[in-house]
Amino acid sequence: MNITQESAFRTCSVTGLRVHLPAQKLIITNAVAAVVFLLIGGILALLIALTRWEVVQLLPADLYYRFLSVHGTVMLVFWIVFFEVAGLYFGGTVLLNARLLRPGLGWFAFVLMLAGAVMSTLVTFAGGADIMFTAYVPLKAHPLFYLGVILFAVGALLAVGLFLATVIVAKKEKRYTGSVPLVTYGLIAAAIIAVFTLVSGAIVFVPAFLWSLGIISSFDPGAYRVLFWAFGHPAQQINLSAMVAVWYALATLTTGAKPVNEKLSRFAFLLYILFINLGSVHHLMVDPALSQANRIFNTSYFFYLAVLGSLIHAYSIPAGVEVAQRAKGYAKGLFQWLVKAPWKEPGFAALAVSFVIFGFIGGTSGVIQGMQVNMIAHNTLRIPGHFHATVVGGTTLAFMGLAYYLIPLMTRRQLVGKAWASAQPYIYGVGVTMLSLGMLWSGILGVPRRTYDIAASSAGVAAPAYAGSDVTLAIMGVGAVIAVIGGAIFVGIAVLTLLTGKKMK
Amino acid sequence: MKGEKDNKFHAPGTLVLAFIFLGFFIALYFINWVMLSGTWAVR
Amino acid sequence: MSSLASPEKVWWKPLCRDERLWVAVALAWSLFMFFGMLGWGAIGNQHLPVETYRVNIGEFRQLTNDFNQKYTVGTQNGVPVVRPPEGGDVYLLASAWKWSSILELKEGVAYRIHLSSADFQHGFSLQPTNLNFQILPEYDYVVTLTPDKAGEYQVVCNEFCGPGHNLMVGKIIVTE
Ligand code: HEM
Ligand SMILES: [Cu+2]
Ligand SMILES: [Cu+2]
């Protein structure tokens, strides 16, 4: 079958979008892989959170460190990136009315990613990489751990390349006229950042792999940290850019919002591409060996112009919703548009909750903790407190919201349990908010991250008291339970829809 | 030139929300610097 | 037109009044934060430490041993308690999973504390005052600290450094 043929397309009866069938299969498959990893990571999340909650201390020390290592990789890399690949294929084909250029390459990329992900997950579960996802040298993992990450990164790089090629060919084939949609534009920004990220990943993990095999005799720990964070943080900027694109999409899907100003929104994405990766240096604020100028200039993302990009989106997205709502007649006073917003629509709930958690907790704490303030935050629980608000409350929740539309659209099945889906973003949001605030607050009290038991010590020196941490860690623990319940509801809806959802015409 | 080409829209509520957010951000910013200044001198 | 469809042909439009206001204020805040970071260097008392030397592990261990031998004033549970001269250089070696000494410092005096590791990466986390630095093997990171109040402080390792990581707690005693 010639995949360019019209027969390879179907037209969605609800949205009128034209869907390229080979792309559809890849989108579903990548999304399913994503959800499976989310499920694994979520179960581990509960176990490690209930271990950090000092009075519960569920796991023994070795399992805590092992599961923490798996949780970090599986969530931050596998769940997020598999879903992003699904999102890229969607934005590059369905939104552009286009075909996926080389589905075969897409499957090859998927197999590489899956093989890599399974390999490094199994190795870590088997105890071959109890060294956290950062794998700071000279802590050493089993070679297959590094190899797994490399395979995954190569696969992801191929997927990103396929997306970019698809967009370029769609333009050539005149599948759409004028500029790409804003959401696709945001995804292109994410893809460009992804290229930088994944290449950096190769630059750090390939020598680490060789070092673990004994082919290279040493790996400078300072150099490793620079290279690792040229991969580790830009990976979060992919998430940021993709999440903002998803926010725009959800605003349109649930309220009919249009971008109030295409120019300004696109300019904001451009600021991301240009400057945001500089910020990775905030991981090295209290490392040896960097100059003062380097630290201050880079951590500021070039005079905070990347933050300006985020502040622009923070205005443009609600403004689009407000304009759309006012046009529907909800024009009374300052906030009737907001009060009358579709709060029961899962996508809107996810958008609103994700937007607020990301902005108020994740974004602010991230920017501020990247300054000299880092000296009172580095490696305390403040750090996971910050990024659970960005990448969990923000990105993950936004992706869940999109999935409530993507899954029915792609599988032609009705969403199972719409009422559950409407409540899910709030449950998850409350959980993640408590989780994050509990962690942030514990960190302010000095409680370290990645530490099994803060009351233990050896050599007869008493551990610090961390006065008040019993309360803050309890907030974290209760929040974790609620968040995991919210996550389980999402996984349940996704799986049931896929397997038992009523077929749509 | 202004006029019909100008990108006019009416979203006063959003502007208020945006400034509330900025105020929150600024408050957190200064609280954190005050926290930092309470610790030992470092160089 | 929506965020999911191609925009109309010409989307290059000037900003409206509200947008101009918001972008101007947001830009001002961004620049303020940047100069705030520079400014803290001039007005604040907490500077990001930058002084660093390359060192090999044996060399630093030697420096630490010499330092301990010269200034040890006692032991607690087998760990030497070391009282360095006021304002002098201090050598603290982190290794899995212990600190090379318990330090006795004087309030209000600046000490140059050399941090390095004999094996993995470690973290120097001074509690309860809460100051945190990264420690790498083969790097001598000099952090100049001035204790501001007498009392007992803990030095917690807050970089994961293997299974005994959470047991790695040391001490600094600050005297008047
Ligand atoms: C129900 C949701 C979740 C809960 C309750 C949860 C809980 C936790 C806890 C308790 C820690 C350990 C902190 C420490 O001891 O240092 C942690 C670490 C982490 N989590 Fe989550 N998490 C959740 C979801 C996620 C998601 C969705 C992601 C990524 C997209 C994520 C990424 C991470 C990462 C990267 C770490 C750091 C691992 C490390 O320090 O090496 N988490 N999480
Ligand atoms: Cu340590
Ligand atoms: Cu440690």
Chain B CB within 8 Å of residue C150 CB: no
pLDDT average, residue stretch A172-197: 93
Domains of chain A: 12-232 (1.20.210.10)
Inter-chain CB proximity A264 and C138 less than 8 Å? no
Burial label, C164 (beta-carbon count in 10 A; 0-12, 13-18, 19+):
middle
- Comparing CA positions, the residue from A86, A206, A102 lying closest to residue A153 is A206
HSE on the CB side for C67, CA within 13 Å?
25
The minimum CA-CA distance between A112 and chain C, rounded to whole Å, is 30
Inter-chain CB proximity C18 and B25 less than 8 Å? no
Band (pLDDT 50/70/90 cuts) for residue A250 is very high
Cβ count within 10 A of residue A125: 15
Band (pLDDT 50/70/90 cuts) for residue A1 is very low
Indicate if ligand 1 lies below 6 Å from the C-beta of A48.
Answer: yes
Residue among C38, C102, C159 whose CB faces A296 most closely: C38
pLDDT average, residue stretch A254-264: 93
Nearest protein CA to atom 22 of ligand 1, as residue: A45
Residue of A nearest to C154 (CA): A464
> Does the pLDDT value for residue A48 go beyond 90?
yes
Q: Are strands C151-156 and C52-54 parallel, antiparallel or unpaired?
A: unpaired
Is A18 or C92 the better-scoring residue by pLDDT? C92
Inter-chain CB proximity A364 and B33 less than 8 Å? no
Packing angle of the helix pair A301-327, C17-43 (nearest 10 deg):
150
Cα A379 to middle of ligand 1, angstroms? 14
The minimum CA-CA distance between A495 and chain C, rounded to whole Å, is 26
Mean pLDDT, chain A, as a whole number? 95
Residues 6+ apart with CB under 8 A from C107: C147, C148, C149, C150, C174, C175, C176
The secondary structure of residue A131, as a DSSP letter, is S
Which of A372, A378, A380, A437 to substitute to test the interface with B, most B CBs within 10 Å? A372
CA A208/CA A194 separation, integer angstroms: 21
Side chain identity, residue A266: R
Indicate if ligand 1 lies below 6 Å from the C-beta of A435.
Answer: yes
Burial per residue of A467-487, b for 16 or more beta-carbon CB atoms within 10 angstroms, e otherwise? eebeebbbbbbbbbbbbbbbb
Indicate if ligand 1 lies below 6 Å from the C-beta of A91.
Answer: no
- Comparing CA positions, the residue from A386, A336, A378 lying closest to residue A357 is A386
- Domain interval for residue C54: 50-175
Looking at all shown ligands, the one closest to residue C166's CA atom is: 3
**C82 falls within a domain:** yes
CA B5/CA C13 separation, integer angstroms: 7
Give 3-state DSSP helix, strand, coil % of chain A, rounded to 5.
75, 0, 25
Q: Which residue's structure tokens are 């200064």? A: B30
Residue among C33, C46, C143 whose CB faces B36 most closely: C46
CA A209/CA A224 separation, integer angstroms: 12
| Upstream peptide bond of A181 is cis (omega within 30 degrees of 0) | no
Band (pLDDT 50/70/90 cuts) for residue A289 is confident
Q: By three-state DSSP, how is residue A135 classified?
A: coil
User: Contact at 8 Å (CB) between C172 and C151?
Assistant: no
Q: Chains contacting C with at least 3 CB pairs below 8 Å?
A: A, B
Residues 6+ apart with CB under 8 A from A234: A193, A196, A197, A200, A276, A277, A280
Instruction: List all residues of chain B from 1 to 43 with a beta carbon under 8 Å from chain A.
Output: 7, 9-18, 21-22, 24-25, 28-29, 32-33, 35-36, 39, 42
Which chain C residues are Cβ-neighbours of A253 within 8 angstroms?
4
> Does the pLDDT value for residue A6 go beyond 80?
no
Indicate if ligand 1 lies below 6 Å from the C-beta of A81.
Answer: no
Q: Chains contacting B with at least 3 CB pairs below 8 Å?
A: A, C
Q: In this predicted structure, what is the pLDDT of residue B7?
A: 67
CA C163/CA A451 separation, integer angstroms: 10
CATH number of the domain at C121, please: 2.60.40.420
Residues 6+ apart with CB under 8 A from A499: none
Q: In this predicted structure, what is the pLDDT of residue A459?
A: 64
Cβ count within 10 A of residue C58: 9
**C139 falls within a domain:** yes
> Does the pLDDT value for residue A248 go beyond 70?
yes
CA A58/CA A39 separation, integer angstroms: 19
pLDDT average, residue stretch A317-333: 96
Q: Which residue's structure tokens are 């994961």? A: C160
Cα C157 to middle of ligand 3, angstroms? 4
What's the whole-model pTM score? 0.96
Length of chain B: 43
Q: In this predicted structure, what is the pLDDT of residue B33?
A: 95
Q: In this predicted structure, what is the pLDDT of residue A88?
A: 97
Give 3-state DSSP helix, strand, coil % of chain B, rounded to 5.
60, 5, 35
- Comparing CA positions, the residue from A149, A128, A281 lying closest to residue A205 is A149
Indicate if ligand 1 lies below 6 Å from the C-beta of A487.
Answer: yes
Give the per-residue SS3 of A398-429: HHHHHHHHHHHHHHCECCCCHHHHHHHHHHHH
User: Contact at 8 Å (CB) between C138 and A221?
Assistant: yes
Nearest protein CA to atom 7 of ligand 1, as residue: A45
Q: In this predicted structure, what is the pLDDT of residue A114?
A: 98
Residues 6+ apart with CB under 8 A from A197: A231, A234, A235, A237, A238
Atom of ligand 1 nearest to the CA of A46: 5
> Does the pLDDT value for residue B3 go beyond 60?
no
Inter-chain CB proximity B43 and C47 less than 8 Å? yes
pLDDT average, residue stretch A456-466: 83
- Tens of pLDDT, residue by residue over C72-88, are 999 998 899 999 999 99
Q: By three-state DSSP, how is residue A181 classified?
A: coil
Band (pLDDT 50/70/90 cuts) for residue B8 is confident
CA A232/CA A235 separation, integer angstroms: 5
Cβ count within 10 A of residue C152: 13
pLDDT average, residue stretch A322-349: 96
Burial label, A458 (beta-carbon count in 10 A; 0-12, 13-18, 19+):
middle
**C20 falls within a domain:** no
- Tens of pLDDT, residue by residue over A361-383, are 999 999 999 999 999 999 999 99
- Comparing CA positions, the residue from A9, A94, A8, A14 lying closest to residue A414 is A14
Q: How many Cβ pairs closer than 8 A exist between chain A and C?
A: 252
**C145 falls within a domain:** yes
Which chain A residues are Cβ-neighbours of C22 within 8 angstroms?
311-312, 315
User: Contact at 8 Å (CB) between A491 and A35?
Assistant: yes
**C25 falls within a domain:** no
- Tens of pLDDT, residue by residue over C6-46, are 887 777 888 889 999 999 999 999 999 999 998 887 888 89
pLDDT average, residue stretch C47-69: 96
Report angle CA A257, C29, A354 to the nearest 5 degrees: 40
Q: In this predicted structure, what is the pLDDT of residue A457?
A: 77
Percentage of residues in chain A having pLDDT higher than 70: 99
Indicate if ligand 1 lies below 6 Å from the C-beta of A233.
Answer: no
HSE on the CB side for A434, CA within 13 Å?
20
CA A188/CA A18 separation, integer angstroms: 20
User: Contact at 8 Å (CB) between A92 and A170?
Assistant: yes
Which of C13, C15, C16 to substitute to test the interface with B, most B CBs within 10 Å? C16
Band (pLDDT 50/70/90 cuts) for residue A17 is confident
Is A443 or A276 the better-scoring residue by pLDDT? A443
> Does the pLDDT value for residue A3 go beyond 90?
no
Which of B14, B19, B29 to substitute to test the interface with A, most A CBs within 10 Å? B14
Looking at all shown ligands, the one closest to residue A388's CA atom is: 1
Nearest protein CA to atom 34 of ligand 1, as residue: A72
**C124 falls within a domain:** yes
- Comparing CA positions, the residue from C116, C13, C102 lying closest to residue C60 is C116
Indicate if ligand 1 lies below 6 Å from the C-beta of A49.
Answer: yes
Instruction: List all residues of chain B from 1 to 43 with a beta carbon under 8 Å from chain C.
Output: 2, 5-9, 11-12, 14-15, 18-19, 22, 25-26, 29, 33, 36-37, 39-43
Q: By three-state DSSP, how is residue A247 classified?
A: helix
Band (pLDDT 50/70/90 cuts) for residue A445 is very high
**C15 falls within a domain:** no
Torsion, Cα of A478, A481, A483, A484 (10° steps): 170
Residue among A261, A311, A318 whose CB faces B7 most closely: A261
- Tens of pLDDT, residue by residue over A140-172, are 999 999 999 999 999 999 999 999 999 999 999
> Does the pLDDT value for residue A182 go beyond 80?
yes
pLDDT average, residue stretch A113-139: 97
Q: Provide the domain count of chain C.
A: 1
> Does the pLDDT value for residue B1 go beyond 80?
no
pLDDT average, residue stretch C138-159: 96
Helices (H) and strands (E) counted in chain A, each on its own, are: 17, 2
Q: Which residue's structure tokens are 């968040």? A: A483
Which chain C residues are Cβ-neighbours of A364 within 8 angstroms?
none
Length of chain A: 505
ipTM: 0.95
Residue among B13, B22, B32 whose CB faces A335 most closely: B13
